[in-house]
Chain A
Amino acid sequence: MSASTDSAIVKLENVHLSFGQTQVLKGIDLTINKGDAVSIIGPSGSGKSTILRCINALVTPQSGKITVAGTRVDQLTKESERIQLRKRVGIVFQQYNLFPHLTVLDNIVLAPTRILGADKTATVKLARELLEKVRLSEKADAYPGQLSGGQQQRVAIARALAMKPELVLFDEVTSALDPETVGEVLWVIRDLIRDGMTSILVTHEMRFAEEISDTVVFTENGKIVDYGPPQQIFHSTDNPRIRQFVGGLSGGGRGAVRDGEGI
């Protein structure tokens, strides 16, 4: 989130978005540099998922500038242009959304071969390497329904990486998981970030966000309330809302805040 724009891979400027009468984003400004890991935290309904969807051109804001890897996303008018962008920006969701009728390997190979037109043999090789990376080599021929949530989510990450994206968006990818499988997914993401993949994570895993992020962004009610290095957001912020939110999630008040968010 430095001021220099030349190394910026994502830049949102004064982005406003509403669904019907509901204003969801009320002037978002965000700059993310290549190779950075940025965590977005904040209460449920504050617009975190919508920010990711804007970056991936899944939704189009009413106003503001969005630049992603050199493309002015807000100016794309044709669906085919948005599709071109989505191929370059990976996104992984809370519900892993693997294709249930395909094996793990075919889930990974489908989009690169059918959508990008990549060579089949090379893609299968890449898929096997990625499965090794997410530590699921032995599950290549299994079907998603035969895997645990954590395993499915790791396949979903491998599936996104097989598109060789320039950045990856993670939308609460551990929120639907059993507590004992959260760790194995975070492990994979940590590896990815260490390898230098530009990553934007919406997460409720505060300790993980603190550990891996270059920048933490706090959103509330459609606005970015504050951002900065993890140390600042988690430990030395003056903002009482952030203190309450962060304290609530990582400390004893967890239950109360979760209830308050309607989780």
Chain B
Amino acid sequence: MQDMNLTGLFIDMMGRLGLNYEFLATGYEAQIWRDGFITTLYLVAVTIPVSLIVGLIFAACLTSGRLWLSAPVRAFVELTRNTPTLVQLMFSFLVLNTVVSNMLGGAQNNPLSPFFWVVAVVGLHVAALHAEAIRGGIEAVPSSMIEAARGMGFSQFEILRYVQIPLAFRSSLPAIVNGLISLVKSTTVGNAIAVSEITYASIMVWTQRDNVVEMMIVLLAFFSLINFVVARIGQWVERRLAIPGYGL
């Protein structure tokens, strides 16, 4: 009851300012909208680690010196960097997803949801951006340091794991944070394939209520807030990983 009263108070106050948030008092539309926030946060929370892990693997492939690893990743990076994410998503959902369904003998057997495809497409797209940044950092590690590690008996993978990636991650962190900010924004492509993230939910509400401005205010504030948090976490990590006496 307390909650209803607070909601009522909010609707009333906004009404006086000329802003229509009456849908909040309804059960159905308010529920869709709330679920939209949660879905977006969930998308962001899942896609960020996917992009980081795949980005690292891509960067490792690109710098491996093995053509069978680097060539396919290079091709994928170029493709995903130079084509719209929305087109990639539609292609994945309409073509790849159908292929999977056919292979499994029907859509009812296909476990891949629209949510999955958004995570995969946005995650891999941003992974490609991360990979380029990390690759630059890996290649910037002086060859004399790599030879010293080899001289101690490090394998190529151990050099990558213990020397190149820790240094490359630090130097590419600003670029990675930029990639994550663009990732947060890119999750909105999900509305094209009916993933009910926050823009999809907002559109549902404003087509019923004709309150585009009101919904927009919240949308913009919401994404600004998420990216503010992402940027702050990035700064915190940067400070944590800063190396005393080292010019990075």
Residues of A within 8 A of B (CB): 56, 58, 79-80, 83-84, 86-87, 90-91, 93, 95, 97, 99-101, 110-111, 114-116, 142-147, 156, 159-160, 163
Contacts and interface: CB of A to CB of B under 8 A. Distances in A.
Contact of B151 (A86, A99, A114, A142): A86
A142 B163 CA distance: 18
B244 A163 contact: no
| The 6 nearest A-B residue pairs measured at CB | A145-B245, A97-B148, A87-B153, A146-B245, A145-B246, A91-B151
B153 A163 contact: yes
Given A101-B166, A101-B170, A58 B243 contact: no
Given A101-B166, A143-B244, A93 B147 contact: yes
A145 B245 CA distance: 4
Interface string B168-189: 0010000000000000000000
A192 B87 CA distance: 66
A110 B244 CA distance: 19
A101 B150 contact: no
B158 A101 contact: no
B244 A114 contact: no
Contacts of A100: 167, 243, 246
Given A86-B152, A111-B153, A143 B245 contact: yes
27 contacts: A56-B151, A58-B150, A58-B151, A79-B155, A83-B153, A83-B155, A84-B153, A86-B152, A87-B153, A90-B152, A91-B151, A93-B144, A95-B144, A99-B162, A100-B243, A111-B153, A114-B158, A115-B158, A142-B244, A143-B244, A143-B246, A145-B243, A146-B244, A156-B148, A159-B152, A163-B152, A163-B153
Given A101-B243, A115-B152, 13 more contacts: A87-B152, A87-B153, A91-B151, A93-B147, A95-B144, A95-B145, A97-B145, A97-B149, A100-B167, A101-B170, A114-B158, A145-B243, A145-B246
Contacts of B206: none
Interface in B217-248: 241, 243-247
A97 B141 CA distance: 11
Q: How large is the interface on B (under 10, 10 to 19, 20 to 34, 35 or more residues)?
A: 20 to 34
A190 to B, nearest CB: 22
A93 B151 contact: yes
A129 B155 CA distance: 27
Given A58-B150, A101-B170, A163-B153, A110 B162 contact: yes
Contacts of A143: 243-246
A50 B84 CA distance: 51
In this complex, which of A95, A100, A146, A159 has the most chain B Cβ atoms within 10 angstroms of its Cβ? A100
Interface of B: 142, 144-145, 147-156, 158, 162-163, 166-167, 170, 241, 243-247
Contacts of B245: 142-147
B152 A111 contact: yes
A159 to B, nearest CB: 8
B167 A111 contact: no
Contacts of B156: 79
Contacts of B154: 83, 111, 115
A143 B248 CA distance: 14
Nearest to B163: A99
B244 A115 contact: no
Given A100-B246, A163-B152, A58 B147 contact: yes
A79 B155 CA distance: 8
A86 B153 contact: yes
B159 to A, nearest CB: 10
A110 B162 CA distance: 9
Q: Which of A58, A83, A84, A160 has the most CB of B within 10 A?
A: A83
A93 B148 contact: yes
A90 B150 CA distance: 11
Contacts of A91: 148, 151-152
A145 B244 contact: yes
A57 to B, nearest CB: 9
B76 to A, nearest CB: 28
A185 B229 CA distance: 49
Contacts of A146: 244-245
A115 B153 contact: yes
Contacts of A58: 147, 150-151
